[in-house]
Structure 1
Amino acid sequence: MHDAVIVGAGPVGLFLACELGLAGCSVLVLEREPEPGSRWRAAPLGMRGLSVTAVEAFYRRGMLPSLLAASGVHDAPDGNEPSGPRAVGHFAGMVLDPAKVDVDALSYRLPSPVLEVMMTSLEAVESVLSERAAELGVEIRRGVTVCAVEQDEDGVIVRTGEQEYAARWAVGCDGGRSAVRGLAGFDFVGTEPQFTGYTMLVGIADPEKLSPGFNLTPAGMYIRMPAEGHIGMMDFDGGTFDRTQQPSREHLQAVLRRVSGADVTLTDVRLVSTFTDRAMQATTYRRDRVLLAGDAAHIHSPLGGQGLNTGIGDAVNLGWKLAAVARGQAPDGLLDTYTRERHPVGAWVLDWTLAQSVAMRPDAHGQAVQGVIRDLLDTRDGTTYVYGKISGSSLAYDLGGEHPLVGRNAPDFQLADGTRLGGLMQDGRSVVLDFSTDQRLRGSATGRESRLHYVAGRAKDDLGLGAVLVRPDGIVAWAGDRGFDRKGIPAAFRYLAWSEVSSGHCHVG
């Protein structure tokens, strides 16, 4: 019996598998597609933007160099000097100006070798994660379709045709049309669409008639991407286009002409896919021994590029918790904090994309909202607020701590000897940084049963803290102005560290 069966070998399923494999769990990944990669996952159609929190997830597991290389990125910061964002995304097609982001207003920031926004492809992300999963002993079986999910108090049976796989836990990471979600009986609720969106690679006889970048028009929005013939468009048809059929060249040309207002001519269609702004979310991310992550848990329009980033956030949050429970290091109830922490994030993403749909509507109401938003984005406060949201910089879980850093993403603290927090997190353990002493002490329990690193020593910039406890997902579980202290640590996370620090199981010296 495996510790976990993960259904879906996309970025979310693979990242989760790596997290579990890193903790020594037995993991099986089942994937419907027979082979990895496709034209939809490679550039240009597979291009995606990773937010700072998603890039940090790769950095903290030692995968950032491989991801940068696979993505062709050669201008990452060295992490020694503060740097502001160079590209910050858009809201409803209204592109944010990086110069208007007030970096000083973003609290608890430290220099880091992590790009604020990074362009990559699904192919690059999946290749890096697949390689790491193989190194960690994760088994991936492709070309199998899940047809049944059954569970009892002891485990889960996942069936694919005549084959069945037993595990203690199962996780559906199998996309917006998740088989696991339906088979396990999750409720999926939300709103119906206002538009049909199109992503296509086409031949254009007169591309000069289309303006580059994001273009909001009285009839919707179109995007002319840098790659030749790569076009995105949103047509406010109420989502009525029959997405079971492949759109013809004539249909795509008519929609593009209507949305752009330009008499443009398409010569051929090489690839095309449709989507809507339908926004749906599972009411819970856990039903006993079955859990959901990524698009299986929440779907929405791709406006703002939040889907991949939210999914990686789900995997990072769930991974260490499921590993701790599977290995008997934490009570089963720890898994309930996954829904409690990530469901509000998913709900926010749905609201965020719906708000953008409203601002893009080709009617007087939409135009009025758009005007207000443009005025807000013309201010430093407005741009900084939106950037904080879409970058994940303002993410905060309610962990009940008194210090304002508790529940937030940990800054990349750097000790006097050059050691960075990110480097200490590569093996997936929690980290205690104790800045209250000049002694450079370090320790960790031996073997895979260890749950933390304890590191004492002065930091180049401790942000006024005496000590900080960082969870394996990079979230601050406790922070104080003096040395490490059990007081104030939420009960659900005390098992992470205190017993090892206080009992000597953490060998310091």
Structure 2
Amino acid sequence: MDAQVIVVGAGPAGLMLAGELRLAGVDVVVLERLAQPTGESRGLGFTARTLEVFDQRGLLPRLGDIEVTDLGHFGGLPLDFSILGPAHSGGVKGVPQAVTEAMLDEWALELGADIRRGHELISFTDNGDFVEVEVATSDGPQRLRTAFLVGCDGGRSTVRKAAGFDFPGTSATMEMFLGDVRGCDITPRMIGETVPGGMVMAAPLGNGVDRIIVCEHGTPARRRDEPPSWEEVSAAWQRLTGQDISAGEPVWLSAFGNPARQVTEYRRGRVLLAGDAAHIHLPAGGQGMNTSIQDVVNLGWKLAATVKGTAPEGLLDSYHTERHPVGRRLLMNTQAQGLLFLSGAEMQPLRDVMSELITFENVSRHLAGMVSGLSIRYDLGPGDHPLLGLRIPHLELVGDAGKTSTTELLHPARGVLLDLADDAGLRETAAPWADRVDVVTVTVHGAADAPQYEPADALLIRPDGHVAWAAPGPVALSEALARSFGAPRSR
């Protein structure tokens, strides 16, 4: 094999997956068609769940000082994320996607990922025991072999098309413009601000640059191979707002639409999809990059265990089982948001009703949990502990080795068993899984800052941070360990 895993696409999802695989000791090659990153930043931050994901891998300090905000929206209607509680309830703003991507690139390279830019996937064949990949490079064609191929290559995914994944849904019905412009002196406009004939948004980014979004009703969807011209964008802005910004200088421009499609399966044999390759949607609330990163954090440790031969039967297929419903709800909520802030006056009664509903605490909490990703819960077997299936909150811990936290313990991307009752029998049971699961005897401090936490005698945490087992409960620890981490080592 040239690599145990080949990842196609060096965007945030592909780079995050490369880092996750390298933490598990898996050889990974990343193929990227472009010779250099574009530097464009469609996203300007990330959600609370992605903040937690980065934190559990020790990546946040690489981003420098970050600003967390509780303010958000659902379809242009204000939404206060502080209703979810004090622990990482808000998202991060002011971090361009290009900065996030550069951080992940540096991290993956440090861990030993082989990132090959200017390498374009042409075709591949899944031979059952391996995947043979044909790649175009500046030095001529190459052929590579890998155990698994993962498409993280975006909405127009070559991997998805070549593998024949079914991709049902709806095509875009309109075209919108997005871009950063300099020297326009534009009055800020909140997302979802409707004007006669459409919707516009403008926000200052600093250094004289503004981010703008232009949605003009009646603009048909187009498939573009090149960005729109500044003349197109500035003319649409003037038609909707009356302001002439044509003298401004575009930093970069892009066009996008409102499609809603999702593959029917996230895995076909030795080929898998993640992120935009698996689901495309209106970029409402900036959820695309976040869901993509969370896809690969779910996939990474499962794929690594499969490659290394320690995975229990069905573990890799659980990637689809757990993440496909998340993608389906992503399409649902982005379509709903699109109806709210992209429709005309005929939708105003619904906006008024939604504005009333959001004032109710349960409704606001439900919507905030949905768009932040904090409400995601996997079915991880029987048991009634409130944390089972949820991601472990940040808990301050104290043991014989001193202070630590659930976040710090997840930095190596290994399983963690928290022995919270100093149970020698529990530690003995877990010993045969020591090559995959770290057992830590600790007590919890600072639980008041984690409203989801309820006392337990022990908690088994997967590498992606989700709680797979809690004691006391109806399932034996050995069964829970085997379900998530495979057979024990022979003694």
- TM-score class, shorter: 0.7 to 0.9
Change (3 A) 1:482 1:183: closer
Corresponding residue for residue 414 of structure 1: 396
Distance 1:359 1:483 in 2: 45
Change (3 A) 1:205 1:130: closer
- Shift in Å, 1:89: 1.8
- Shift in Å, 1:482: 7.2
Distance 2:45 2:485 in 1: 35
Alignment equivalent of 1:466, drawn from 446, 457, 462: 457
Two-structure CA RMSD over aligned residues (Å): 2.9
3-state SS, counterpart of residue 322 of structure 2: helix
Paired residue total: 470
Corresponding residue for residue 118 of structure 1: 92
Corresponding residue for residue 81 of structure 1: none
Corresponding residue for residue 401 of structure 1: 382
Alignment partner of 1:148 is 2:123 = yes
Alignment partner of 1:191 is 2:170 = yes
Alignment of 1:146-225 (within 5 A): 146-161=121-136, 162-202=141-181, 207-208=186-187, 211=189, 214-225=192-203
Change (3 A) 1:57 1:242: closer
- Shift in Å, 1:407: 1.2
Corresponding residue for residue 262 of structure 2: 281
Distance 2:13 2:285 in 1: 18
Alignment equivalent of 1:294, drawn from 272, 275, 289: 275
Q: Which amino acid aligns with 1:34?
A: A
Distance 1:484 1:362 in 2: 50
With 47-56 and 288-297 compared, the bigger mean Cα shift is at 47-56
Contact (CA 8 Å) 2:221, 2:257: kept in 1 or not? no
Corresponding residue for residue 234 of structure 2: 253
Alignment partner of 1:64 is 2:60 = yes
Cα deviation, 1:336-388, whole Å, max 9, x if unaligned, reads 10011001101111111111111124335422221111112233333222111
Q: Which amino acid aligns with 2:413?
A: G
Change (3 A) 1:329 1:319: same
TM-score of the aligned structures, taking structure 2 as reference length? 0.88
Q: Which amino acid aligns with 1:296?
A: A
Change (3 A) 1:159 1:448: farther
Contact (CA 8 Å) 2:382, 2:474: kept in 1 or not? no
TM-score of the aligned structures, taking structure 1 as reference length? 0.85
Distance 1:444 1:495 in 2: 14
Q: Which amino acid aligns with 1:40?
A: E
Corresponding residue for residue 16 of structure 1: 17
Contact (CA 8 Å) 1:93, 1:215: kept in 2 or not? yes
- Shift in Å, 1:197: 1.6
- Shift in Å, 1:307: 0.3
Q: Which amino acid aligns with 1:123?
A: A
Corresponding residue for residue 240 of structure 1: 221
Contact (CA 8 Å) 2:23, 2:413: kept in 1 or not? yes
- Shift in Å, 1:265: 3.7
3-state SS, counterpart of residue 89 of structure 1: strand
Change (3 A) 1:244 1:458: closer
Corresponding residue for residue 46 of structure 2: 50
Contact (CA 8 Å) 1:437, 1:456: kept in 2 or not? yes
Distance 2:387 2:29 in 1: 36
Corresponding residue for residue 478 of structure 1: 469
Change (3 A) 1:257 1:424: same
Distance 2:455 2:316 in 1: 33
Alignment partner of 1:40 is 2:40 = yes
Distance 1:218 1:135 in 2: 51
3-state SS, counterpart of residue 367 of structure 1: helix
Corresponding residue for residue 266 of structure 1: 246
How many percent identity over aligned positions?
A: 38
Corresponding residue for residue 139 of structure 1: 114
Give structure 1 stretches of 5+ with no counterpart. Answer: 77-85, 105-110
Alignment partner of 1:435 is 2:436 = no
With 47-56 and 235-244 compared, the bigger mean Cα shift is at 235-244
- Shift in Å, 1:207: 2.5
